[in-house]
């Protein structure tokens, strides 16, 4: 997918160092870059996309498997990290990456997609507070920052709160 000089494509191993540097720059710390490296080392990403402009990677978005207790069948994913180079933020690059990634998730019959992030930003993509689906994030009470998209009635009629667990690599991010 391309537009306005942006090319969105699948990541390759040749991109790893540029992506790690981009993620560290976007978050202004190494924690998220270390997370991405750990996900790669453990082959724990399902879908990854990068945006490049004139051959330079300026955006990155990953989706990795998540689990739930009680268990849910099907493909369950967590979005993150999403990173855009500081000099390219607020230009729609992140939005295009998320939309492309969500389309990939839908095309692969993902049953649930979770995200921890700015509620106002992620609401535009259809993410709703996980609490509406009787779900919580295993890490802590994130309030409306923990959001989900579900393509069925997952959790709506649950008797108990369903706990969503990200890959253990996410435990390094503080």
Q: Burial-class residue 22 by CB neighbours within 10 Å (0-12, 13-18, 19+).
A: buried
pLDDT, average across residues 30-48:
96
At 153, is the secondary structure helix, strand, or coil?
A: coil
State the pLDDT at residue 161: 81
**146-168 pLDDT per residue, tens:** 999 987 766 556 577 888 999 98
* Chosen CATH of 2-172 out of 3.40.50.920, 3.40.630.30, 1.10.3720.10, 3.40.50.150: 3.40.630.30
- What is the predicted pLDDT for the residue at 137? 87
The overall longest dimension of the chain from CA atoms, in Å, is: 52
pTM of the model: 0.91
Mean pLDDT, rounded, for 112-127 = 96
Residue 154 has a pLDDT of 64
Average pLDDT on 3-9 reads 79
Say yes or no to pLDDT of 4 above 90: no
72, 105 contact by CB (below 8 A):
no
Q: Give phi and psi for 26, each to the nearest 5.
A: -65, -40
The string of pLDDT tens digits covering residues 61-114 is 999 999 998 888 899 999 999 999 999 999 999 999 999 999 999 999 999 999
pLDDT tens digits, residue range 12-24? 999 999 999 999 9
pLDDT for the residue 2: 47
Of residues 6 and 146, the one with the higher pLDDT is: 146
Structure tokens at 9: 């494509």
Q: Do 13 and 57 form a contact (C-beta atoms < 8 A)?
A: no
Contact 77, 114 (CB under 8 A): yes
Q: Classify residue 24 by its DSSP letter.
A: H
Report pLDDT for 136: 87
């Amino acid at each position: 997918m391309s537009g306005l000089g942006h090319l969105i494509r699948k990541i390759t191993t040749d991109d790893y160092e540029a992506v790690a540097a981009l993620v560290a720059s976007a978050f202004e710390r190494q924690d998220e870059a270390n997370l991405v490296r750990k996900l790669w080392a453990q082959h724990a990403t399902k879908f990854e996309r990068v945006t490049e402009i004139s051959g330079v990677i300026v955006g990155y978005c990953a989706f990795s498997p998540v689990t739930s207790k009680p268990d849910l069948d099907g493909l369950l994913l967590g979005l993150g990290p999403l990173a855009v180079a500081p000099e390219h933020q607020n230009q729609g690059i992140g939005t295009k990456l998320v939309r492309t990634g969500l389309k990939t998730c839908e095309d692969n019959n993902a049953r649930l997609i979770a995200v921890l992030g700015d509620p106002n930003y992620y609401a535009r993509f259809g993410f709703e507070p996980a609490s509406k689906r009787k779900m919580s994030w295993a890490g802590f009470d994130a309030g409306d920052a923990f959001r989900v998209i579900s393509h069925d009635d997952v959790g709506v009629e649950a008797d108990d709160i369903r706990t969503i667990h990200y890959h253990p690599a996410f435990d390094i991010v503080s």
